[in-house]
A and B are shown apart, each in its own frame.
Chain A
Amino acid sequence: MSVVTTLIPPQAPPEAPPKPFTASRFFGNIFMGVWLALTVGVFLMIVGGWDPEKFTRYGPSYLSGLGVTLLLVGLSVVLGGLISLPLAFARMSKNPVFSWLAYGYVYFFRGTPLLTQLFLVYYGLGSFSAELKAWGLWWFFRDAWNCALLTFTLNTAAYQAEILRGAIESVPRGQHEGADALGLPKKVAFFKVILPQALIVALRPYGNEIILMIKGSAIVAIVTVFDLMGETRRAFSRTFDYQAYLWAALLYLLMVELLRNLWAWLELRLTRHLKR
């Protein structure tokens, strides 16, 4: 009878087989190489064309342009949110006149480019300067900034009304019935039961809308408002330095990514009671 007297000494595990070099790995390496080359190229362009004089001259104007962009977007989103409330209710109302009017408004502002709307307000209403002067409204429409604010407010109101309507209609019928069964008045039921649930649904579309507004606000540069894009165009037209656009791209990306991450955090925080 044989007895085991010695144990096999511990050994290293067998080597992992080499990763196969697949087509996707090949393309992945190529694309990463392209991104790397682009990053290095942009970096070299910025370092090679670095001009402290340009930076001190145009740096502050970029910051003021950033301020204009943020103010324009912030104001128009808030004002548009206020207008969107009655608009969403008109859209949902049983009265066909209200609902068709609201539908027409939303269809117009969602179906045409923001740039065309801006031109319509700034240049189009500008051609009625005599009438506007007679009504005492000319001081408002004379300024490109006011026209941009008005256009953006009306535009985002249409989008926000649709977001709000979709969110309110997504609240199940049982919630209305539950509120009725508890004897809550219509107003209390809406503000304490329906709206909180609707706003959670609407949170993500609202974030997307703000991001779209930040990106869309670049077009005000065309009607001579010096927002971030306007300052960029001014810097480019004076220096013919391609870097001007790269800095603007960096700032826009920073804004959008910050907002996107803030919104992801907000959503995680506000829906924590819904997690199972």
Chain B
Amino acid sequence: MSGFFTAIVEAVSAILGIIDPLCGPIGIFNLFAGGTLLACGNAGWGDEIAFGFLVTASLAIATLPVGLVAGFFIALAKQSEEKSLRLSANIYTTLFRGLPELLTLFIVYYGLQILVQNLAAALGYGGAVEINAFFAGMIALGVVFSAYCSEVLLSAFKAIPRGQYEAGYALGLHHGRTMRLIVLPQLIRVALPGLGNLWMALLKDTALVSVIGLPDILRQTGVAARVTKEAFQFYAIACLLFLVLAFLSSLVFSAIEGWAKRSEVAR
């Protein structure tokens, strides 16, 4: 399993290496920081930090669909007529909104390790099992994201009047198509600002995964800081890179928001 995810990380980084904004042929580090500590290649830390940037971005991007889909179904479960389904969904959100993200990460990381170890032992494999940090981070962040996402989507569901469902049924659409063709487009429009906030929180939470050893921005800059003793410079660069990610995603989100509201502009 871990080999699979390493392969994904490697494939993504290979593709992005060509259009790398930091260390590519026209990368910022190559253009402005050639002779400094930030130079690319063996001379400086530019390529390591650029790799960390990619890992952070790909972790957040890989977590997003997992969290969104899970959050959608949890939101559906929360407004179900079935009591047990509602209760179990509420337990889920209470639990994962109440726990610190760092603790969730540790619980998932070590818990998965124990679980897989026991499973492997039961199957007759006695060796040590190491869980991939990327995978553990994806699960932990996805779980936290889905818990918050379900709340955002639930309030968005409440903003859609009953008549919309009834209109769908009156047109002869069954439940799934009513959801997909009528409710979901409106749901996205209502939930988009909340989801944007959650995405920013997710982006910031990825920094925690450096604690369990994933080579993300913070870990790579931390290694560079320890080796070169230029801690302030490198952590300032880490902050700057996170700001760049936040700024880029705010651009993307305003574009998506404009797209989602394109029917309202004419009015």
Binding site for B on A (CB under 8 A): 22, 24-25, 27-29, 31-32, 34-35, 107-108, 110-117, 119-120, 123-128, 214-219, 221-222, 229, 232, 236, 242, 245-246, 248-249, 252-253, 256-257, 260
Contacts and interface: CB of A to CB of B under 8 A. Distances in A.
Nearest to A222: B211
A5 B204 CA distance: 83
Contacts of B83: 28
Nearest to A212: B201
Interface string B143-177: 00000000000000000000000000000000000
B121 interface: no
Among A115, A214, A252, residue most surrounded by chain B Cβ atoms (within 10 Å): A115
B232 A127 contact: yes
Among A120, A125, A128, A222, chain B packs the most CB atoms within 10 A around the CB of A120
A31 B93 CA distance: 13
Size category of the binding interface on chain B: 35 or more
B207 interface: yes
A127 B231 contact: yes
A245 B99 CA distance: 11
Max chain B Cβ within 10 angstroms of own Cβ: one of A24, A232, A246: A24
A222 B212 CA distance: 11
A120 B235 contact: yes
Contact of B230 (A25, A111, A127, A252): A127
Given A22-B82, A217-B100, A252-B100, 20 more contacts: A27-B85, A31-B89, A35-B88, A111-B200, A111-B246, A112-B246, A113-B205, A113-B218, A113-B242, A114-B204, A116-B239, A119-B218, A119-B238, A123-B225, A214-B100, A215-B101, A216-B100, A229-B102, A245-B107, A245-B111
Given A113-B204, A115-B207, A123 B235 contact: yes
A219 B208 contact: yes
A120 B232 contact: yes
A215 B205 CA distance: 12
Nearest to A31: B88
B5 interface: no
Interface in B196-222: 200, 204-208, 210-211, 218, 222
B36 interface: no
Nearest to B88: A31
Nearest to A27: B85
B238 A242 contact: no
Which 4 A-B pairs give the minimum distances between C-beta atoms? A28-B85, A28-B84, A124-B232, A113-B207
A24 B82 contact: yes
B114 interface: yes
B231 A126 contact: yes
Given A120-B232, A218-B103, A242-B111, A28 B88 contact: yes
B98 A219 contact: no
A77 to B, nearest CB: 16
A116 B219 CA distance: 10
B94 interface: yes
A111 B232 contact: no
Interface in B63-86: 77, 80-86
Contacts of A110: 200
